Structure 1
Amino acid sequence: MVKNTPRREDALTRERIIEEAIALLDSSGETGLTFRALAERLATGAGALYWHIANKNDLVTAACDAIVARSLGVQQADASPQDIIRVVALELFDAIDAHPWVGPALTRAPWQTPLVRILERLGQQIRALGIPQAEQFAAVSALLGYILGVSVQNAANAQTGKQLGGDRDAILGQVAGAWSQLDADAYPFTRSIATQLREHDDRVDFLAGVDLILRGLQRG
């Protein structure tokens, strides 16, 4: 007996495929993103997807680019370069937190559109700050490395937290308790920040790091 697959009545577009791919990536990760699973969600045949998307790598990159474009689309009228950098950084931090697969997708292909979008937005602000031409590449690299590195690690921490039960306060409390019991001579600094670990705000600390980089660039 042949099983009939319900067919969609609206036209299949690249944009619609990407939106469904994002939903599938969010729910199942990259391992769960297959053309068969995506075709089922779209009520079409897998072959129809290839008219719009070359392969899975192309699809993940396109999905990542859609998320990045939305994050960078926030308007900052009359904002200073510093404020624009902060907004961009926080939007990307939140986007990677909401879509943990975006971080690895960005770092795998530094020459592709999603990362180039970020590079261009940050680079324009570095120029606006008056950073000398010879120092602009290093400045953007430092910012980009910090933003992506911390954002990816934060998303990974959140996933680990879910695996451990999802109670962030309880998990941080356990770690802080362990740190406070470390040998005082061998780990004086780690012991001293145990209370801060328990109470810290990830987004606030992230922006504090961005500000440290910005202050260093302007003093240079």
Structure 2
Amino acid sequence: MATRSGRSQRRTEALSRERIVTAAIELLDAAGESGLTFRVLTERLATGPGAIYWHVANKGELVGAATEAVITAALATAPADSPRAEIRAVALGLFEAIEQHPWLATQLSAQLSGNPWGAVTPRIFECVGRQIRALDVPEQDWFTATSALVHYILGAAGQNAANAQVAGSESDRAEFLANAQAEWDRLDPGEYSFLRAVAGQMREHDDREQFLAGIDLVLAGVHALRPKG
């Protein structure tokens, strides 16, 4: 007859940290951080809280592990044929990850500002920074160039995710942008001549193409840092 300790050990082994993190990501995607509770998680995994606490100490550690898992997958891009293409691939991987997991933008911002030595921020900086170095940027500009790219990537991707939450489906987005254009067109032409001029471009823009165009603009500035000749 199996002992209680033997059964507990088998349950703990079956309920791996990976399974817990996967379930946590699903809950975060469905209901955001407020929807991730250990009670809901134990129900989803059909287990008791003790089995979960065996693997993660608290909710903060669990959300951090979920963030790390998503970012690790996002950065696992196929090798590109140039540093510039590699940066675009990394940027697009992060863009899509934040688009698919709207809660991720807040977590990345918190990691970047409050825990730059944790598991996530160094991984992102390393992926981008290696390519900056490969572009023959002078060493004294490595940190500035990498920081500019990382902040653009996370900021623009986070804003896109927030916009998507507000606009909703593709048809809702089209209606939202049409309404925005109409409101910009009504602005005083003397005070808002620029916004009235680009209102149609705002309505017709593609979020992903605009994001990648921004990457190219930053990279053009980075390219200017390279030694002449």
Rounded to whole Å, the distance in 1 between the matches of 2:13 and 2:50 is 17
Are positions 1:188 and 2:190 aligned together? no
Deviations 1:165-193 (A, max 9, x none): 96100000000011011111100110001
Structure 2 unaligned regions, length at least 5:
1-10
**How big is the shift at 1:75?**
1.2
Q: Provide the TM-score with structure 2 as the length reference.
A: 0.89
Measure the CA separation in 2 of the matches of 1:109 and 1:192. 38
- Give 1:36 deviation, angstroms: 0.9
Please point out which of 45, 50, 53 is paired with 1:50: 53
- Measure the CA separation in 1 of the matches of 2:30 and 2:217: 35
Structure 1 runs not aligned, ≥5 long = 1-7
Deviations 1:56-86 (A, max 9, x none): 1111111111111111112124x10000000
Q: Equivalent residue for 1:4?
A: none
RMSD: 1.7
Paired amino acid for 2:71: V
In the other structure, the counterpart of 1:127 is 133
Letter matched to residue 185 of structure 1: G
Amino acid aligned to 2:76: G
4+ runs deviating over 4 angstroms: none
1:172 aligns with 2:177: yes
TM-score normalised by L of structure 1: 0.92
Cα 1:83/1:18, change in 2 over 3 Å: same
Q: 1:38 aligned to 2:41? A: yes
Letter matched to residue 13 of structure 1: S
Q: Quote the Cα distance in structure 2 between the aligned partners of 1:32 and 1:156.
A: 18
Task: Give distance in 2, aligned partners of 1:165 and 1:76.
Answer: 32
From 92, 95, 103, give the equivalent of 1:93: 95
- Code of the residue aligned with 1:89 in structure 2: it is A
The corresponding residue for 1:156 is: 162
- The correspondence of residues 106-121 of structure 1 with structure 2, limited to 5 A, is 106-110=108-112, 111=116, 112-121=118-127
Distance in 2, Cα, partners of 1:54 & 1:109: 18
- Quick check: 2:74–2:94 contact (8 Å CA) kept in 1? yes
Aligned residue for 2:205? 200
Q: What is the one-letter code of the residue matched to 2:85?
A: D
- In the alignment, the residues of structure 1 paired with residue 77 and residue 152 of structure 2 have an alpha-carbon distance, to the nearest angstrom, of 21
Count of aligned positions:
211
